[in-house]
Amino acid sequence: MKKNHVWLLLAAATMGFCAPAGNNPGKTARLSHAADDKESLYKEIVRADSLFFDAYNNCKMAVMDSMISADIEFYHDQGGLTTNKQDILTALRNNICGKVTRELKPGSIEVYAIPNTGAVEMGMHGFHNNQEKPPPQTRFAKFVQLWRKEHGKWKLSRVISLH
């Protein structure tokens, strides 16, 4: 009889540990809130990305200027490191405006919160030279961007562009 009692206690304990989170209202609320926060952050970063690259594709220099942090670090696998915001804006004006457009690979964006800093966005994108015939298929490459909220607005702080 004692053996059966021990097995019943073990079974009850195991069921308690394996019970779905829905059976614990306090835990469910925290998990739902965390999921809501993650979804909200994802939407904010996707929107910031969309606003920045709409400006990039349409030569809206004032918008790009407002969305780049003063302490920007731009790492490019071909051009190296640029840390001067004005140099980046000049390069965008001289080399990108009216000449290049960016295409985001649908569904490729991932967003991760970085506590007390901002968020990391990773994804795939491709670029098209507007003076050339478009290729039959876009060649997508990885990118990583660190977004920081400065005075209530998301700004690009670190960019790693890989081609």
3 state SS for the chain: CHHHHHHHHHHHHHHHHHCCHHHCHHHHHHHHHHHHHHHHHHHHHHHHHHHHHHHHHCCCHHHHHHHEEEEEEEEECCCEEECCHHHHHHHHHHHHCCCEEEEECCCCCEEEEECCCEEEEEEEEEEEECCCCCCCCCCCEEEEEEEEEECCEEEEEEEEECC
Single pTM value for the model: 0.77
What is the per-residue burial (b if ≥16 Cβ within 10 Å, else e) of 39-71? Answer: eebbeebeebbebbbebbbeebeeebeebbbee
pLDDT band at 8 (very low <50, low <70, confident <90, very high): very low
CATH number, domain 25-161: 3.10.450.50
pLDDT digits (tens, 9 = 90+) for 112-132: 999 999 999 999 999 999 988
Asked if residue 10 has pLDDT above 80, the reply is: no
pLDDT digits (tens, 9 = 90+) for 30-87: 344 567 799 999 999 999 999 999 999 999 999 999 999 999 999 999 889 999 999 9
In the Cβ-directed half-sphere of 119, how many Cα atoms lie within 13 Å? 25
